[in-house]
Amino acid sequence: MQFNQYLNETCSKQNSLVCVGLDVDLEKIPGFLKKKKDAQVNFSKAIIDATAEYAAAFKINTAFFEAYGEDGWRAMREIVNYIPDNIVKIADAKRGDIGNTSKMYAKAFFEELSFDAITVNPYLGHDAVKPFLSKKDKGIFVLCHTSNAGAEDFQKFTGNNQKLFELVAKKVDSWNEKNNCGLVVGATFPKEMKHVRGLVPKLPFLVPGLGAQGGDFDLAVKYATDNRRSGAIFNFSRNIIYASSGADFAGKAADQAKKMRDEINNRINI
């Protein structure tokens, strides 16, 4: 099955457009877990168990695991394998390099770690992205217009009467021969999101910025989904996984995931 078809079917079956971001910072997890072995794994598994009912995807921010070397990679492997097979598994790794290097990145995340999709940096162009597109059932979300404050430093650079983020959107659309391409488009820039959706009506969006970064819920859902029942997944990390620092952290995470799912669904009548 093509990745984008799988993503849409998962959203439909789960009745959700929520992506739970596993940005597992050991400094922020509940204190009683820090004292135990495999703290990242145990925390992540509890979050997955609590929120899977309300999620269409889980996104693992690989930096929070890579920082711990061999132990972090082992933890990441255990966590991705723990995510239910009926939910999309995304590596937030932002990779992208010359062809042979990207080929190894694709092997690492798609074969060795069994992710369904990965975030990709397009700066090096098509030959850097192509290795991630060789299998139709594995997807990419290419950085287009991101949610961080510095996004405008480069992404709005204008040349040949178009901005860089516009060129990225159109290029990725042209690479979507196997229906496995998507874009990262931040909720903190709703005008740009609306514009990108107009340029690429069919590409799915991975949307950060609705939680701690303060993106506008109404505009993000309206522009990313174009009032459809698919077309985007909305990432929530800190406001779900750190909803509580106490023993009730998993239950509070579930409550918050359900709330986010319902907030989105109520706006598009899923």
Q: Active-site residue among 45, 94, 130, 178?
A: 94
Contact status, residue 58 vs residue 26, Cβ threshold 8 Å? no
> What's 52's DSSP letter?
G
Contact status, residue 231 vs residue 204, Cβ threshold 8 Å? yes
CA 224 to CA 242: how far, in whole Å? 26
pLDDT at 80: 98
Q: Count how many domains the chain has.
A: 1
CATH number of the domain to which 111 belongs: 3.20.20.70
Question: 21 pLDDT exceeds 60?
Answer: yes
Q: Which domain holds residue 112?
A: 3-268
Q: What is the pLDDT of residues 232-268, one digit of tens each?
A: 999 999 999 999 999 999 999 999 999 999 999 998 8
| 226: confidence class by pLDDT, cuts 50, 70, 90 | low
What is the average pLDDT value for the chain, to the nearest integer?
93
In angstroms, the Cα distances linking 12 to 118, 164, 168, 198, 263 are: 21, 33, 28, 23, 16
pLDDT at 227: 63
| 209: confidence class by pLDDT, cuts 50, 70, 90 | confident
Q: What is the pLDDT of residues 151-182, one digit of tens each?
A: 676 776 677 788 889 999 999 999 999 999 99
Question: 213 pLDDT exceeds 80?
Answer: no
pLDDT at 84: 98
In angstroms, the Cα distances linking 129 to 110, 123, 145 are: 14, 9, 17
pLDDT at 269: 65
Q: What is the pLDDT of residues 105-127, one digit of tens each?
A: 999 999 999 999 999 999 999 99
Give the residue-averaged pLDDT of 22-47.
Answer: 92
pLDDT at 102: 97
Catalytic-residue membership of 94: yes
Contact status, residue 200 vs residue 172, Cβ threshold 8 Å? yes
pLDDT at 161: 80
Contact status, residue 177 vs residue 130, Cβ threshold 8 Å? no
Give the residue-averaged pLDDT of 198-213.
Answer: 89
pLDDT at 148: 73
Question: 270 pLDDT exceeds 60?
Answer: no
Q: What is the pLDDT of residues 37-92, one digit of tens each?
A: 799 999 999 999 999 999 999 999 999 999 999 999 999 999 999 999 999 999 99
Task: Rounding to the nearest 10 degrees, give the CA dihedral for residues 214, 147, 11, 129.
Answer: -170
Burial of 246 (0-12, 13-18, 19+ CB in 10 A): exposed
